[in-house]
Amino acid sequence: MVEVRLENVVKTFGETVALKGINLNIKHGELFTLLGPSGCGKSTTLRIIAGLDFPDEGSKVYFDKDDVTYMSSSERGAVLVFQNYALWPHMTVFDNVAYGLKLKKLPKEEIRKKVEWALELVKLKGFEDRYPTQLSGGQQQRVAIARALVVEPRILLLDEPLSNLDAKLRLEMRSEIRRIQRELGITVLYVTHDQEEAMAISDRIAVMNVGTVEQVGTPREIYESPKTEFVASFMGKTNVIPAEVVERNGDRVTVEFEGIRLDGLHYTGESDKVVVVIRPERINLAPVENGVSMEGTVDLVEYYGFFVEIVGLFGETRIIARTISDRDIGSLRPTQPVKFYINRDDIIVLPKQNL
Ligand SMILES: Nc1ncnc2c1ncn2[C@@H]1O[C@H](COP(=O)(O)OP(=O)(O)OP(=O)(O)O)[C@@H](O)[C@H]1O
Ligand SMILES: [Mg+2]
């Protein structure tokens, strides 16, 4: 178990600045996730922490008190599990898992015990003599994890470990990874571009965007209190409405879009060009306490089973409301007038970014 600290980590590949000065602090025994779109620098960060790649001069990577910036993977005690598992096809499950221990020249009996322990941990006891081709995708992934854990690393790094699995297996394996992490109390750094997956398994998440970290927080903090437009729009289906500040009164402002004015909203940013962030589930069809409202027409009513979405049209702007009760929507049909009500505390105003 280890605490990992990144200080001003920069990585350039020729002309490309892949990482623009990353600062991160991953705590002991935490499941920490890097989340972000393709090309934002997740794998590069992971490889640098794993010791498979080295950052530019001036960058620092610490494991606890030790500067490991230019140490090899094995010296620093990190193992990385890749998306494609990279199992050796000509070796049995046992030999795949035992590989790292054999390199260390441990006694045979000790190797057998450790492999047994690791296979039990990932629930693959009895599969020792199979070859990778005789395993399902999920089982192969379990072998890859067993092989990584058997050498008792200080940190386990997982780069999109579930992206080759079908939807159902993905759900199963992500709970498995969480269970194993809790059982061992090991520090795990996880990479995904799937925000739902990140929210489901992480203690904390870092949201990345073109080589920078935009926000670090618990899943709840990231979802409910995004600090930037990018983070707000990346965390699931949400309304991000460009607007303008037209009046200020201390830390409260009035914003306007499509001729609609919303007053008394909290905002202390400098720029008057803003976005108004409202989660669909925070929009009501009946008046609420401390509420603002907006009048438009119904564009669409979409039925999803356990919830219903009403897409309202306000000028050219579409705003999605979500409700779990069919009764709320009554007989709403497209082109009918509709009024959305939102508690001011559920509205986040953020500076407009150039995304
Ligand atoms: N070896 C390399 N040589 C040149 N450019 C690289 C190299 N590795 C990564 N890059 C560039 O660095 C940036 C970050 O890449 P990285 O692989 O870290 O992204 P990622 O967030 O893991 O993306 P994905 O979700 O697609 O895996 C990209 O612009 C990529 O093209
Ligand atoms: Mg990647």
CA distance 323 to 295: 18
Report the mean per-residue pLDDT for the chain.
94
* Tally of domains within the chain: 2
Residues 315 and 188 grouped into a single domain = no
CA distance 207 to 157: 17
C-alpha dihedral (34, 35, 40, 46), degrees to nearest 10: 20
Atom number of ligand 1 nearest to Cα 37:
25
> How many Cβ atoms are within 10 Å of 58's Cβ, its own excluded?
11
The number of the ligand nearest the C-alpha atom of 13 reads: 1
Residues 82 and 194 grouped into a single domain = yes
Residues 201 and 331 grouped into a single domain = no
pTM for the model stands at 0.91
According to DSSP, the residues that pair with 206 across neighbouring strands are 34, 216
- CATH number, domain of 254, equals 2.40.50.140
Residues 226 and 323 grouped into a single domain = no
Asked which of 230, 253, 277 is the last residue of a domain, the reply is 230
Q: Are 103 and 150 in contact (CB under 8 A)?
A: no
CA distance 307 to 35: 27
pLDDT in tens, 120-130: 998 899 999 99
Residues 80 and 221 grouped into a single domain = yes
> How many Cβ atoms are within 10 Å of 278's Cβ, its own excluded?
21
pLDDT in tens, 237-266: 899 999 999 999 999 999 999 999 999 999
How crowded is the C-beta side of 286, counted as CA atoms within 13 Å?
6
pLDDT band at 173, cuts 50/70/90?
A: confident
What letter would DSSP give residue 227?
S
pLDDT score, position 326:
67
Asked which of 172, 204, 230 is the last residue of a domain, the reply is 230
List residues near ligand 1 (CB under 6 A). Answer: 13, 16, 18, 36, 38-44, 193
- Is the predicted pLDDT of residue 166 greater than 90, yes or no? no
pLDDT band at 162, cuts 50/70/90?
A: confident
Of 235, 174, 207, whose CA–CA distance to 45 is shortest?
Answer: 207
Residues 223 and 283 grouped into a single domain = no
Atom number of ligand 1 nearest to Cα 36:
21
Residues 300 and 189 grouped into a single domain = no
- CATH number, domain of 130, equals 3.40.50.300
The number of the ligand nearest the C-alpha atom of 193 reads: 1
Residues 91 and 140 grouped into a single domain = yes
Residues 222 and 267 grouped into a single domain = no
Write out the residue range of the structural domain in which residue 308 sits. Answer: 237-351
Q: Are 119 and 127 in contact (CB under 8 A)?
A: yes
Q: Are 164 and 48 in contact (CB under 8 A)?
A: no
Distance of CA 62 to the CA centre of its chain: 23
Please give the distance, rounded to the nearest whole angstrom, from the Cα atom of residue 11 to the centre of ligand 2: 15
CA distance 192 to 162: 9
H helices present in 122-226, as ranges: 137-149, 167-184, 195-201, 219-224
pLDDT in tens, 223-232: 999 999 999 9
Longest dimension (CA), the chain: 77
Please give the distance, rounded to the nearest whole angstrom, from the Cα atom of residue 41 to the centre of ligand 1: 6
CA distance 147 to 126: 16
Mutate to test the pocket of ligand 1, among 13, 157, 162, 164 (most ligand atoms within 8 A of CB): 13
Residues 139 and 11 grouped into a single domain = yes
Residues 45 and 158 grouped into a single domain = yes
Please give the distance, rounded to the nearest whole angstrom, from the Cα atom of residue 255 to the centre of ligand 1: 39
Residues 46 and 193 grouped into a single domain = yes
- Is the predicted pLDDT of residue 329 greater than 90, yes or no? no
Please give the distance, rounded to the nearest whole angstrom, from the Cα atom of residue 63 to the centre of ligand 2: 22
pLDDT score, position 328:
65
Asked which of 207, 230, 253 is the last residue of a domain, the reply is 230
Ranking 26-35, 39-48, 82-91, 262-271 by mean pLDDT, the lowest is 82-91
CA distance 44 to 210: 12
